Structure 1
């Protein structure tokens, strides 16, 4: 069985009228089916570039990116992308926003509408289907964005700092909700975050990147007792603080 994600000696150069900038270099990353992997590192280490490559939004300058063994030449229906902003259309109802991905891919059916309605219910949004985005809190809006992404049934979910604009309590609640939802559906996920605690609490594996250009510095396996707990409880598990300080120390040494 192929890994869900393979980056083989991937490098990418951004070119402008004035300069060429090497964003990431010689990346060797694999993500297995059902795995939750986080990318952490200093600003400028290419985390979002890596997500864009996996999403098929950027074709790497060198190397190859594969999803389920197939070389990416553009966006794939197997990949769902959840961004920092929810990007809900204020003139569309919550249900219509949740159905947008299915609508754009011409997959609106009675079955897909029913599944989307069920997803909204699972996210605690039952009864909100006819509401509009301005009527919802930031946390609820992000739940709608998650439903919109999951409704198209991607095998791989990319998460680009989806909690960064939320208050701490809402962020913790959404961490648990996303992990429970992905585990129940056996989904694979790659998270980009600046929050090291979040990365450890949600992940099976944490990949630390160096900057300028972005390269893999080190990979950390999260112990079973931490990864088996939901994120809120994971922070209280034995070994959590030790792993946090180990990664922090390694990260801190990159700036010396």
Structure 2
């Protein structure tokens, strides 16, 4: 099986007037169709930098990113990016916010608008179309952000801590919703998170990055009986807590390594 995302020796250096800082160092990774992969590691280890490079928003200092076998030279509609903040425009209605990707890609046609309406129904947003962002809760706003991301039909979703600003109950509900939605639509996803329980509950694989410069220290394969469950139920499966603590120990070691 060919990977849909392939990172080849990715190295990235941030340069300022005073210094150069190595953020990522010789990172190799392959992500396969339909996989859900999580990136975890100490703060500042380059996780978000890596997502930006995959999205084509940033060019690595060295190395190449391949998406569907083609070298990434900039942003592409094949890759959707969902952030921690929803970035909804307060002067646009919810539906206008959700369809902005269609506007930008010139796809405001009947077919794509109908698919966006269908996504609204799937996300429980059908009664919010004519409301404005300030009228919705944080969890509902993140659902709108997900519809906006999915409306352009990307095959790959990059998720940069999309649940971290939400209360715990809403976070668990959205984990379930997004995980099931991506599975049903056969999307490939890469998640950045600081929440190891979340990573273990939603992922097929978990990649632990070391302290800056970011390198892959270890890859955890989530057991099939855990990953086949909804995230909420996955936390109750045998072996889940052992997996969580093993990742935790690896993370502690990653944080202590200079």
TM-score category by the smaller chain? over 0.9
| Number of the residue aligned with 2:78 | 78
Q: In the alignment, is the contact (CA less than 8 A) between 2:211 and 2:255 conserved in 1? A: no
Deviations 1:194-249 (A, max 9, x none): 00000000000000000120000000000001100000000000110010111111
Q: Distance in 2 between matches of 1:216 and 1:244?
A: 18
CA RMSD of aligned residues (A): 0.7
1:155-234 residue pairs with structure 2 within 5 A?
155-234=155-234
| Number of the residue aligned with 2:44 | 44
Q: Distance in 2 between matches of 1:95 and 1:122?
A: 14
In the alignment of these two chains, the number of paired residues is 256
Q: Which runs of 4+ in 1 moved over 4 A?
A: none
Deviations 1:67-118 (A, max 9, x none): 0110111111100000000000011001100000010111110111111011
| Number of the residue aligned with 1:21 | 21
| Number of the residue aligned with 2:249 | 249
Shift of 1:127: 1.4
Shift of 1:165: 0.5
Structure 2 residue runs of 5 or longer lacking an equivalent are none
What is the SS of the residue equivalent to 2:6?
A: strand
| Number of the residue aligned with 1:146 | 146
| Number of the residue aligned with 2:137 | 137
TM-score normalised by the chain length of structure 2: 0.98
Q: In the alignment, is the contact (CA less than 8 A) between 2:207 and 2:219 conserved in 1? A: yes
Q: Distance in 2 between matches of 1:75 and 1:93?
A: 26
Structure 1 residue runs of 5 or longer lacking an equivalent are none
TM-score normalised by the chain length of structure 1: 0.99
What is the SS of the residue equivalent to 1:255?
A: helix
Q: Distance in 2 between matches of 1:206 and 1:251?
A: 12
Deviations 1:159-194 (A, max 9, x none): 000001100000000000001100110000000000
Q: Distance in 1 between matches of 2:147 and 2:184?
A: 14
